[in-house]
Structure 1
């Protein structure tokens, strides 16, 4: 983890960008009697329910996760990601579920933190039960994780080029280790799969410690994301109209473990979304539930009681098999 003090320093110019984005999001989030998804008006303020935004079906989802920064930091220091938020949609009351990193990734992938409160390797936390990736494969759908810098499939240790196992939660699911070794890969096949329209139905991209803004700046992470996301948006899966892309962060490390505010910027891209701002309270369990729905199953563990990410953004999924 990087030091909290180093992350608090901001340039004046970056702060002005944050102010501009906050103005675009409007001030209505605290005024709505019931949180809803809202299309941005021409002035940038949010309006009523998103009745004008056509519902879209999500048959594929690709998740990118960055590290340890708040919603405000991501808006200020990640101009490409912030532009995606205002162009497509984002949630302004989305929270990580724990500190430190690992339990957040476990919640996304398995629907529960499993009581984990540290960042130890898979050998310290062998977890039984399905993941969203195993769930997809069991239902005849495809799944895969692309890990930046990982030296070999489903690697259970830290190493390679900035790879850490704690950001690759599938490695903790011991019942699916064989599946993990087949479908939990390095970043090498990513570009080919994007160009071929062969992204998995339930997919995740895990940057290395520099590209996720853990060891490097948010600007570095933003440029890395721009390279990858722009390729996806130019690819056949996006053109099909059935792919959703989600960008989120694991946690806000800046406030300390005792602070209940763990807000992170969570961006949802789908061809049918335009300027949507979701005020509903959501968490990583909502994302986990969304992944299970695309996997053709029901939400896992604690995610079963989470509000729907897709419904919040006016999106739907195919019926479960």
Structure 2
């Protein structure tokens, strides 16, 4: 069997390993509190960020994205802790994932596209493709991602086991997975010596908050049991009671200028529209809106358009500029004079494995350049990175190639069994935009 044929088998074996770990569990706090470092997270924080500068936004000065996993809206909405959170914030009743399974949704929220991805395998996005980090740094806005149970800062691996802190006599548990850590997938971040230091752990989160250096843009991913992936919505509720609720009353995290967006990557049921529960919390949510609902049609692309509107950022020129799927959160749109689209016939967002792209081995096409004429919610231009070929637009791409039929895979797919270290093969001209 060729290496190309073997690769999907290796990756599916890793996925099966995760599935076999999904057993009945009881929530156990990993630490005495969300801001107390713990050996249960393998490595203690040995550094803190130096983010003192604040770039003022129209509606908020800090945003914290918290993502949970694989739950239908109705299931979440009927769970008491989530009902309580909805009473404290603005419930976004028509917020949607953009596809299935998990990984492409994480990419979409940070890069404005999922490039045909329809699995959770190990990929990397070439360094000439821009992402949310480029938009933020273009305006001097600090950022970080915090990954629970990631074994160390800058970790590049596919999966990581750690001692089972809830059941010490049990085997180590695969708490961390790369597919939920989107920024590490972008070469523009993970292969940059300075940027990669901002891919951080939960112990780092505690350290940064205590030192007053929590950035302005944050992406938080709980581990595989606390995010409901391997457990239940009630288990995730217990985690939020332990971790999130204390932070809501801590001014070092939640000031009057803070927006906290708690949501899910995708619905559990693939046969229905991809509606997921989402709530806007924090001091930046106007008092008159707390305890109310907003039925505007939003998707994960709205997380990009909302920060673009808030800080007057450039865009990525991808789905973040597609007005139908990138409405700005209403209270932010109001403060920035952005006009949302009233969507009466939303696109199907539960489709998978049908979109050609550089991550679809069955319908492979190269990475295309973004639409350089697109208008984003921040009213700026389109931000591109060095090495991009602007002539390789979506309309000029070659016909999709079925690489699977050729016993091959996408050149951007890697094997977790054979990839070592953080350095990767540079982008090949034939496969890059």
Cα shift at 1:294 = 4.8
Q: Does 1:132 align with 2:129?
A: no
In 1, Cα distance between the equivalents of 2:336 and 2:259? 11
Seen in structure 2, the aligned counterparts of structure 1 residues 292 and 234 have a Cα distance that, compared at 3 Å, is: same
1:293 offset after TM fit, Å? 4.0
Q: How far apart in 2 are the matches of 1:296 and 1:171?
A: 25
Q: CA deviation at 1:313?
A: 6.2
Q: Which residue of 1 is the match for residue 294 of structure 2?
A: 278
Counterpart for residue 109 of structure 2: 108
Alignment coverage as a number of residue pairs = 265
Q: Does structure 1 residue 193 correspond to structure 2 residue 195?
A: no
Out of 198, 208, 220, which is 1:183 matched to?
Answer: 198
Provide the secondary structure at the position in 2 that maps to 1:211: coil
* Residue of structure 2 in register with 1:118 after alignment: 119
Distance 1:239 1:170, change over 3 A: closer
SS at match of 1:97: coil
Going from structure 1 to structure 2, the CA distance change for 1:291 and 1:155 (only over 3 Å counts) comes to farther
* Partners of 1:122 and 1:165 within 8 A in 2: no
Q: Tell me if the contact between 2:69 and 2:229 (Cα under 8 Å) persists in the aligned partners.
A: yes
Structure 1 position 298, deviation (Å): 2.8
Moved more, 183-192 or 66-75: 183-192
Q: Judging changes above 3 Å, is the alpha-carbon distance between structure 1 residues 115 and 316 closer, same or farther for their aligned structure 2 residues? A: farther
Distance in 2, Cα, partners of 1:222 & 1:297: 34
- Listed one character per residue, the Cα deviations across residues 257-288 of structure 1 (whole Å, up to 9, x for unaligned) are xx351110011013324122111111111112
- Greater relative contact order (Cα < 8 A, sep 6+): 1
SS in 1 for 2:140: coil
User: Which runs of structure 2 are paired with 1:250-265 in the superposition (5 Å)?
Assistant: 250-254=265-269, 256=270, 259-265=271-277
In structure 2, the CA distance between the partners of 1:235 and 1:137, relative to structure 1 (3 Å rule), is farther
1:215 counterpart residue number: 230
Closer, same or farther: CA 101–163 of 1 in aligned 2, 3 Å: same
Higher helix share: 1
Instruction: Tell me the secondary structure at the aligned position of residue 291 of structure 1.
Output: helix
Q: CA deviation at 1:121?
A: 1.2
Rounded to whole Å, the distance in 2 between the matches of 1:204 and 1:148 is: 11
SS at match of 1:236: coil
CA displacement 1:8-37 (0-9 Å, x = unmatched): xxxxxxxxxxxxxxxxxxxxxxxxxxxxxx
**Structure 1 spans left out of the alignment, 5+ residues:** 7-55
**Partner residue in 2 for 1:75:** 77
**Which residue of structure 1 aligns with residue 185 of structure 2?**
172
In the aligned structure 2, how far is the partner of 1:227 from the partner of 1:75?
19
Normalised TM-score (structure 2): 0.56
d(CA) in 1 for partners of 2:105, 2:251: 31
In structure 2, what is the Cα distance between the partners aligned to 1:317 and 1:231? 31
- The 3-state SS of whatever aligns with 1:136 is helix
Following superposition, the deviation at residue 136 of structure 1 comes to 1.3
Q: Rate the CA distance shift 1:239–1:70 in 2: closer, same or farther, 3 A.
A: closer
Q: Give me the whole-angstrom Cα distance separating, in 2, the residues matched to 1:174 and 1:205.
A: 20
The offset of 1:302, in angstroms, is 0.9
**Structure 2 residue 319 is matched with structure 1 residue 302:** yes
User: Structure 1 residue 238: deviation in Å?
Assistant: 5.2
SS in 2 for 1:171: helix
- What is the Cα deviation at residue 148 of structure 1? 0.3
**C-alpha root-mean-square deviation of aligned residues, in Å?**
2.7
Change (3 A) 1:253 1:221: same
SS in 1 for 2:262: strand
Highest Rg: 1 or 2?
Answer: 2
1:229 Cα offset (Å): 1.9
SS in 2 for 1:188: helix
**CA separation of 1:289 and 1:127: change in aligned 2, threshold 3 A:** farther
Matched, 1:87 2:88: yes
Report how far residue 187 of structure 1 moved: 0.8
In structure 2, relative to structure 1, the CA distance for the partners of 1:315 and 1:224 (3 Å cut) is farther
Correspondence 1:61 to 2:63: yes
* Matched-pair contact (CA < 8 Å) for 1:135–1:295: no
Q: State the Cα deviation string for residues 233-252 of structure 1 (Å, max 9, x = none).
A: 22224553111000010001
Asked if the contact 1:151/1:159 (under 8 Å) is kept, the reply is: yes
Aligned with residue 307 of structure 2, among 288, 291, 294? 291
